[in-house]
């Protein structure tokens, strides 16, 4: 079945350093979504990417969807302590509808102030 | 203020007891989901429902049951058949009107079976 893999599983950075998490799907995706879960909290939707090669920015966060629509990345510039949490990517299961998503296992980001 | 509520936030049960986790949404979403989260395991789909009175098994449905009698409610029962029920349970919903382009999650219930 479809697999969505994320690396790294954990990342610890000093405040001000950059951070990148990568997401790879075993199948071509019609779109990809990113979620953030703060410690003790619940996942919150960040963004959806749809087009091949798409790049979207949200302040210090840059999201990219690969040309082949099988991989994606989230890059955070100059991390802050507020960026701490687990970042998940998710893609629609076979069939293309977002009705059912497959989530990656997430990347836990910790930031040392 | 629309959203998803789950209660209780923490739940303790003795081994062998069934327990029901509540999930209510006032977002008018048709689709609802239950996920289980264990450390380092991401989100695993237990059950999902696209419309009232219909639901489907997800990837790890064994030992769980659900009902969807109302659009707003999707309770999850963790039965004694579930071998390792201690986990963080998340309920979510999404809307076909938005092409299911975002799942909204409740605050979660942390279940501990003693």
B57-85: pLDDT as tens digits:
999 999 999 999 999 999 999 999 899 99
What is the percent of chain B with per-residue pLDDT over 90, rounded to a whole number?
A: 84
Whole-angstrom distance, CA of residue B41 vs CA of residue B71 = 29
Contacts of A101 in chain B (CB under 8 A): 103
At residue B100 the predicted structure's pLDDT band, cuts being 50, 70 and 90, is: confident
pLDDT for B87 beyond 80: yes
Residue A31 pLDDT: 93
Distance from CA of A77 to the nearest CA of B (A): 24
pLDDT for B2 beyond 80: no
B residues 78..107 contacting A (CB < 8 A) = 90, 92, 94, 96, 99-107
**Segments of chain A scoring below 50 in pLDDT:** none
Contact flag A99-B94 (C-beta cutoff 8 Å): yes
Residue B1 pLDDT: 61
Pairing of strands B76-78, B64-66: antiparallel
Whole-angstrom distance, CA of residue A72 vs CA of residue A24 = 7
Residue B32 pLDDT: 97
Contacts of A46 in chain B (CB under 8 A): none
Question: Strand (E) positions, B18-86?
Answer: 19-25, 31-37, 43-51, 54-57, 64-66, 76-78
Which of A9, A45, A88 comes nearest B43 by C-beta? A88
Contact flag B108-A42 (C-beta cutoff 8 Å): yes
Residue A95 pLDDT: 62
Q: Which of B38, B58, B103 to mutate to test the interface with A (most CBs of A within 10 A)?
A: B103
Find out whether the peptide bond into B8 is cis, omega within 30 degrees of 0: yes
């Amino acid at each position: 079945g479809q697999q969505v893999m994320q690396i790294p599983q954990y990342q610890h950075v000093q405040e001000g350093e950059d951070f990148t998490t990568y997401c790879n799907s075993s199948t071509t995706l019609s779109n990809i979504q990113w979620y953030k879960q703060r410690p003790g909290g619940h996942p919150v939707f960040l963004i959806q990417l749809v087009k091949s090669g798409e790049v979207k920015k949200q302040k210090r966060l840059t999201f990219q969807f690969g040309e082949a629509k099988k991989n994606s990345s989230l890059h955070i510039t100059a991390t802050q302590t507020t960026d701490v949490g687990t970042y998940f990517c998710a893609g629609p299961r076979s069939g293309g509808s977002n009705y059912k998503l497959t989530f990656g296992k997430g990347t836990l980001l910790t930031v040392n102030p | 203020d629309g959203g998803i509520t789950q209660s209780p936030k923490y739940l303790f049960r003795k081994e062998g007891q069934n327990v029901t986790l509540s999930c209510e949404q006032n977002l008018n979403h048709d689709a609802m989901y239950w996920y289980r989260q264990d450390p380092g395991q991401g989100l695993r789909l237990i059950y999902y429902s696209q419309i009232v009175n219909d639901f489907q098994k997800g990837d790890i449905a064994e030992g769980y049951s659900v009902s969807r009698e109302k659009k707003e409610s999707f309770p999850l029962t963790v039965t004694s058949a579930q071998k390792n029920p201690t986990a963080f349970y998340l309920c979510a919903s999404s809307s076909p009107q938005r092409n299911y382009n975002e799942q909204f999650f409740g605050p979660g219930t942390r279940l501990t079976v003693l």
